[in-house]
Structure 1
Amino acid sequence: MSNTKVRKIAAALAMLSVGCGIAHAGDGSEGESENFFRLGGYVRGWSAFNLQDIPETEANDRGKLSMLRGSLLLDADARTGPIKWKAVGRLDREYKTDYLKDLEDLRKTNGTTGGDASSILDNYNQSELREFWGEFKVGERATFRLGKQQIVWGESDFFHAMDVVHGYDLSWRLFFEGENEEWRKPLWLASMKLDVPEADGELHAYVRPGLDRCKDIGNTYDIQGGRWFFQPYRGFDLTAVTTLDCDHPEGDKDDVTGGIRWSGLAGPLNYSLAYIKTFAADPVANSVFAPYKQAPDGPLFDLIHPMIDVLGATVSGYSAPLDAVLSAEIAYTIDQPYNVGTGALTAPARGAAAGLGLGGIRNKDTVTTMLRADKNLHFERLLGTNRPSFSSVQLFDTWVKDFRKSDDLVRLFAYGSPLSEHNTILTAFTVLNYRGDTINPGFAIGFDLTHGGGFAIPSLDLALGDNWRAKIEADLFWNSGSTKTLFDPDPKVQLFGYFARNNQLTFRLTRQF
């Protein structure tokens, strides 16, 4: 461990000890000082089956078991005097199904078992301390939390506008529904909340001192050729030709980041204003053909997460005429990075290798907006539900400012599909409740209004007694085009084309304790 990191850890521990001393000297109520310890958690198992034949493999994959996964999560809460403690750890293990064996063999056939990944399971098996923090009050208004934690700012569910403090681990599952808290990647932070009752609001600020691992930065995708790599790259290990660079001058994981948010009430409306300095969630390729700031270490390109600045605002309130809660969210991102180079990879002898997004990086200010309506629908008589059914509709748009077609921006590296000035997604979901909320069918649907394609997710959530929970869902996709051959992009392929022929049926069983 470097001396710099040791000093940062020592400083964090010093902050905690000083804060504890201040909190101990403050006026904590007697109830807040009672010591306790609680341990809970769950044991969870997943299984998933392919509903379609995967074109990358020779065998027919329809009906094959694509995932068999187990997790153990331990969640501990405690109080020692004025300090509240939280620790969450999770162990994840997978069985190598025949389908995963086929993908692993395909990696060996095309010679792309990259990095240190001797097994395709290295991308899925994990053991980590997800959260570990101490929280204490200073006076009556300020609350400090120090340690590994999660901060959620924003209003959207399926897609994220202002919820950009953390990246998400999307390597072992990319689409099926779940709790964002489970997929979000916690960070080592020092955060503070300050109540300001005179202004009907709260100030929330955090500092990330740069103690996190490289793998904790940005979104993590299944680029090692696994079941959720985008078509047609399943069975192709991209780490054979790239490295993840977290020391890049525009995206150094050791740099300090942070944010500040004000949330409050203005008459009947809830609102918030925020500024966040963080890392771009999706990585971009720093190519050997057009290096960005510095030459990459990888043989073809490095993946980097450049730093961005985000200005955001949210507003929500109840509409009596619609009997619904209406919400809006906007995030203005300064210097959002995009790769350059549509189409297939151009040979270096013909000039700049501009295809597949390997023609460099260009920054564009981007505006992300979300409009949402939440409403309870009364299906009691029509469908026999035992209570009103919570439903939500969200319209999500990403607008690239100062967009010029001549910039030749791509939607995603390794694809040659051109980026559009606007990318607009419409989603909706509803949940029905039967037998005292023990049987809960649900349905979610989404449409790419810009490029075509979409998804549908029918599901059934079951409460089996006090401790057991089960869920069944199907993840179904349709698209307006799909790429059939490696490095031979179809310009029509956009978001839902990445999921072509990857419909899944997923089962989840949980034992809570």
Structure 2
Amino acid sequence: MVINEKRVKKMRQKSGGVYRSILGVAISLALAQWNVAASAEETSSSGSDENGNSFHLGGYVRGWSSFNMKDQPETAADDKWKPSMLRGSLLLDMDARTGPLKWKAVARADREYKTDYLKDLEQLRSTNGTGTGGQSSNIMDNYNKADLRELWTEFNLGERVSFRIGKQQIVWGESDFFHAMDVVHGYDMSWRLFFEGENEEWRKPLWLLATKVQVPEASGQIHAFVRPGIDQCKDIGNTYDIRGGRWFFQPYRGYDLTAVTDNDCRHPDGDMRDVTGGIKWSGEAGPVNYSLAYIRTFAADPVANSVFKPYEKTPTGAFFDLIHPVIDVFGVSVSGYAPAIDAVLSAEVAFTKDQPYNIGTGGFGTPSVPGNFPGVGLGGIMKKDTLTTMIRADKNIDFQGLLGTNRPSFSSIQLFDTMILNYQDSDDLARLFAYGSKQKEHSTILTAFTVLNFNSDTINPSFAIGTDLTNGGGFFIPAVDFVLGDKWRLKVEADIFWTQKDSKKLFDTDAPGTQLMGYFANNDQLVVRLTRQF
């Protein structure tokens, strides 16, 4: 065997540089978290007076780091093990009570360091001409943010009725990974798309007037809300990383889609000023919990209003505008304990009226879609009713004897299916604009996860897995959460994907099989999260 000494030396230098970067970032984050958290802890206060008035300020300082586990095909450099994210977050959480009023305020600021990998993506945006034509020439504008997460007051009217007014979150539904009835809010997935975490961190709060009415005679309650339409454009629907960043779908990393499109939140079929809302009845019938809900909201995922076939309004973007049409969702959920299998079973069904889809997966001049831009879903918009179904089983499994856990382990399995009603293959519905992939009648995802607990719940490994039963591919997320005393938390996680098919070039019509998991091709990530609570 002939050993290339120069190559070995170069590899050692590269590995050493990566390890030194990781160590330096870890030390910096730890010191920053310690100083800021200690300062915040000194200034926070809590307690109540003789009148029942109280005030408490808490929160956390958090550091994130993630590393590419594979080389990214869009860039010329070898991206494997390069840091893709070095992020710090400060969240302040205030609770107070003044007489009959309860108050809540949550604010969060996020800042990132521009890694070499992000610099490469930013340079790629300049090379392909989208860096100056998009919303920003600085790729960090996609990640550096400061938001007022919540600001509301709550009070009771009598013994049965309560009102909550202000910026808040409402959670309806039973599912975790994918959402059937939990559609009141969109999610901000611009800086992360597949990390495990709390939905409260990613959900985009809205300005709402919400009320709950207890009806003990019927063993239930009414929950209703009105959204008056004073939110900002960025608060509507799901936000994805379409500016060419680390979580844009392959092969679009390094391509700023905002250079050829606008975000239209004042479209006639989806105006952010429109009043929306919902009402839900939750009750008990013997051993079964159930709910009935109606929600009028915005379609979570945007669709493209194409210049080649405008929908109700001429777009201002060069190719298309992103819009979120208003939809109506009718939902039912049931859950209850099944003694025969010692598990909690849940089911959720949501009927969506007029779910919007883009048209066009063929090529230019597709007979059914005249003038369609080649295979990228820009042949117009079609609305279809859909039926979304979720079936779930939650069970505590005893691994104490086998693995030495200190208590039974919570495990869950979930089957999630979306069916397009009155589906016609000739409709040529696109799975997602910018891909030549056809939407199928059914989209079925199977997921499962389990959490193990060791050393008095201070070491908590978890495993999540999911597969696309319709299109192939899936994900596997092993993680371990460490409880380090009363204040510190450390989580290490790997996000691993396997794909059936994926696209290698922009506006690809040669790989029409690219579906959900194909979007994440080659984007496996190792993620470290360190939190200091106060």
Normalising TM by the smaller chain, what interval? over 0.9
Counterpart in the other structure of 1:491: 512
Counterpart in the other structure of 1:340: 359
Shift of 1:353: 1.7
Aligned to 2:417, the other structure's residue is in SS state strand
Q: Please say if residues 166 and 207 of structure 2, whose CA atoms lie closer than 8 Å, have aligned partners that are also in contact.
A: yes
Residue 136 of structure 2: which of 87, 95, 117 is its match?
117
Q: Please say if residues 135 and 258 of structure 2, whose CA atoms lie closer than 8 Å, have aligned partners that are also in contact.
A: no
Structure 1 residues 358-367 or 292-301, which shifts more?
A: 292-301
Aligned to 1:496, the other structure's residue is in SS state helix
CA displacement 1:347-371 (0-9 Å, x = unmatched)? 99x9412530000000000000000
Residue 78 of structure 1: which of 96, 99, 104 is its match?
96
Aligned to 2:117, the other structure's residue is in SS state helix
Counterpart in the other structure of 2:430: 410
- Within 1, Cα distance between the matches of 2:366 and 2:424? 25
Residue 387 of structure 1: which of 407, 410, 417 is its match?
407
Report how many residues are paired. 483
Q: Please say if residues 357 and 383 of structure 2, whose CA atoms lie closer than 8 Å, have aligned partners that are also in contact.
A: yes
Residue 122 of structure 2: which of 104, 117, 126 is its match?
104
Counterpart in the other structure of 1:208: 227
TM-score (norm 1): 0.93
Counterpart residue identity of residue 512, structure 1: Q
Matched, 1:172 2:191: yes
Residue 148 of structure 1: which of 146, 167, 172 is its match?
167
Counterpart in the other structure of 1:248: 267
Shift of 1:323: 0.1
CA displacement 1:448-500 (0-9 Å, x = unmatched)? 00111000000000000000000000000001011001112311111000000
- Within 1, Cα distance between the matches of 2:237 and 2:462? 30
Matched, 1:321 2:340: yes
Residue 294 of structure 2: which of 275, 282, 288 is its match?
275
- Within 2, Cα distance between the matches of 1:72 and 1:123? 17
Aligned to 1:327, the other structure's residue is in SS state strand
Counterpart residue identity of residue 103, structure 1: L
Matched, 1:368 2:368: no
Matched, 1:511 2:511: no
Matched, 1:69 2:98: no
- Within 2, Cα distance between the matches of 1:497 and 1:75? 38
Which of structure 1's runs of 4+ aligned residues deviate more than 3 A?
30-33, 343-348
Shift of 1:414: 1.0
Q: Please say if residues 130 and 257 of structure 2, whose CA atoms lie closer than 8 Å, have aligned partners that are also in contact.
A: yes
Shift of 1:118: 1.9
Aligned to 2:188, the other structure's residue is in SS state coil
Distance 1:32 1:499, change over 3 A: farther
Aligned sequence identity (%): 71
Counterpart residue identity of residue 381, structure 2: I
Counterpart in the other structure of 1:60: 78
Counterpart residue identity of residue 129, structure 2: G
Counterpart in the other structure of 1:476: 496
Counterpart residue identity of residue 493, structure 1: T
Counterpart in the other structure of 1:25: none
Shift of 1:179: 0.3
- Within 2, Cα distance between the matches of 1:341 and 1:75? 46
Counterpart in the other structure of 1:34: 52
Residue 201 of structure 2: which of 170, 179, 182 is its match?
182
Distance 1:111 1:131, change over 3 A: same
Distance 1:240 1:77, change over 3 A: same
- Within 1, Cα distance between the matches of 2:519 and 2:365? 22
Shift of 1:115: 3.2
TM-score (norm 2): 0.89
CA displacement 1:428-461 (0-9 Å, x = unmatched)? 0000000110000000000100111000000000
Q: Please say if residues 32 and 81 of structure 1, whose CA atoms lie closer than 8 Å, have aligned partners that are also in contact.
A: no
- Within 1, Cα distance between the matches of 2:244 and 2:362? 22
- Written as runs of structure 1 = structure 2, the 5 A alignment for 1:250-269 is 250-269=269-288
Counterpart in the other structure of 2:419: 399
Shift of 1:33: 6.1
- Within 2, Cα distance between the matches of 1:79 and 1:345? 62
CA displacement 1:61-115 (0-9 Å, x = unmatched)? 0010000000000000001110000000000001000000000000000001233
Matched, 1:501 2:522: yes
Shift of 1:31: 11
* Residue segments in structure 2 that go unaligned for 5+ positions in a row: 1-47
Q: Please say if residues 33 and 82 of structure 1, whose CA atoms lie closer than 8 Å, have aligned partners that are also in contact.
A: no
- Within 2, Cα distance between the matches of 1:35 and 1:329? 41
Aligned to 2:429, the other structure's residue is in SS state coil
- Within 1, Cα distance between the matches of 2:147 and 2:68? 29
- Within 2, Cα distance between the matches of 1:109 and 1:67? 22
